A = this chain, B = another copy of it.
Amino acid sequence: MKNFPEIEKLYNQIRQFPCQDLSSSSFSVALTKLTIACQEYLKTSTRITLISKVVGKEYFSFCEDKKNSRAVRMDLFTDDIDVLLLFLTSLENNNFESIKSLDIDKACYTIAISFCAIIDLEKIGDQKTPGTFFEHFIGHCFSKRLNVTPKTRVDVLNLDKATALPTDYIFDLGKGKAKFHVPIKTSTRERVIQVWAHQRVLDGVYGNGRFYGTLACLSETKVDKKSLEVIEICLPQQWQLYQMFIAQMKRVYYLDIPTAYLKLNDVFPKIHVKTFSDFIEETKDFSNFD
């Protein structure tokens, strides 16, 4: 018996947390309950292997009543609930000493993709719910790790004009310290230019180097419904143009890094595309962050 109403109830709790409560214990509790409920749900779902056109990665879909979920990466999805709970406890305490990097990546990916896959199975064409969940989940991770809750608007005082700029999450570590501009997307596609444009506005208003542009994404896979083939949709050359001509993004963190973007680490103009465990590692000491 699939308990989707329970999952929906917990999602609705998570969705309604305001920014300033994203790192609260009650958020952690709801997230842990949701994680357990999602694994319970998926335990009895059929899995079909997809035909991966992505070199070095294997994917499957969960299936219910002839509906297939989005692609799930085999080596990153874990059925081991203990790994998920260890990650959530580490996150709650903001202490990752007892968890391996690979387990951080597996846990993060599994928590995010499980909820998204269940929505794929239960709803038709609902992109908003997975997006909102992912935003709150990553927002929570950043809040716990950076030890500060985000804002979603910044004041703009510019000569005779005072206005507020609505933004993605802004994590401000305080006076003279780093400020993170964190757009969060399950996948980017052609709309990603917005991310660089928002960074450009922040750079313009506050000065270059004041905000670390830090994009967080889930994956870029696309499944062909008929052939069951998985591809990754990537536009690396356009990212490079945006990086050269619009603004500088400091980091892009993926839960499932697309191969084409991984290569951007090695060519100029460099764009640093990393895993989520890299985020945990890099934010241990901000002086490494450059």
> Within residues 207 to 249 of chain A, which ones have a CB less than 8 A from any CB in chain B?
237-238, 240-242, 244-246
Q: Knowing A191-B194, A194-B194, A241-B156 touch, does A246 contact B200 (C-beta < 8 A)?
A: yes
Number of A residues, CB within 8 Å of B? 25
Measured CB to CB, the closest approach of chain B to A111, in angstroms, equals: 28
The answer to whether A241 touches B165 (Cβ under 8 A) is yes
CA distance A270 to B205 in the complex (A): 18
CB pair A198–B205 under 8 Å, yes or no, is no
Which of B161, B191, B201, B203 is in CB contact (< 8 Å) with A242?
B201
Whether A205 and B165, one on each chain, are in contact in the complex, defined by CB atoms closer than 8 angstroms, is no
Residues of B contacting A161 with CB < 8 Å? 237, 240
**Residues of B close to A200: CB separation below 8 A:** 197, 200, 245-246
For the complex with contacts A163-B237, A200-B245, A205-B245, 18 further pairs of A-B residues with Cβ separation under 8 Å are A156-B241, A161-B237, A161-B240, A166-B238, A191-B191, A191-B194, A193-B194, A193-B197, A193-B198, A194-B197, A196-B197, A197-B200, A200-B200, A201-B241, A203-B245, A204-B244, A204-B245, A205-B241
